[in-house]
């Protein structure tokens, strides 16, 4: 694989990981944001959202690295 192809695959992997993290974060976000008889919980936006996106990126990059290592051994 060429360098440009590897760079494009890495960027695509990061974008897909961020999208997956965002998709998982949106599951029941309304329930986490509107707590029972309390004011809105803003930590859902400034703490959970960035962590979900970074977690998705990290997981996707680890999977990409593992796949590259497995392919290189063949």
Structure confidence by residue, pLDDT tens digits, 7-43:
898 899 999 999 999 999 999 887 777 776 677 778 8
pLDDT at res. 37: 66
User: Are 50 and 19 within 8 A, CB to CB?
Assistant: no
pLDDT at res. 58: 95
> Distance between CA 30 and CA 40 in Å, rounded?
10
Radius of gyration of the chain (CA): 17
Residue 73, pLDDT > 90, answer no
> Distance between CA 55 and CA 51 in Å, rounded?
6
Q: Identify the residue with better confidence: 29 or 69.
A: 69
> Distance between CA 53 and CA 74 in Å, rounded?
32
11 in helix, strand or coil?
Answer: helix
């Amino acid at each position: 694989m060429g360098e440009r192809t590897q760079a494009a695959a890495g960027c695509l992997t990061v974008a897909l990981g961020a999208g997956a993290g965002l998709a998982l974060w949106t599951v029941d976000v309304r329930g986490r944001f509107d707590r029972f008889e309390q004011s809105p919980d803003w930590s859902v936006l400034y703490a959970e959202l960035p962590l979900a996106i970074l977690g998705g990126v990290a997981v996707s990059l680890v999977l990409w690295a593992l796949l590259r290592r497995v392919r290189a051994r063949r």
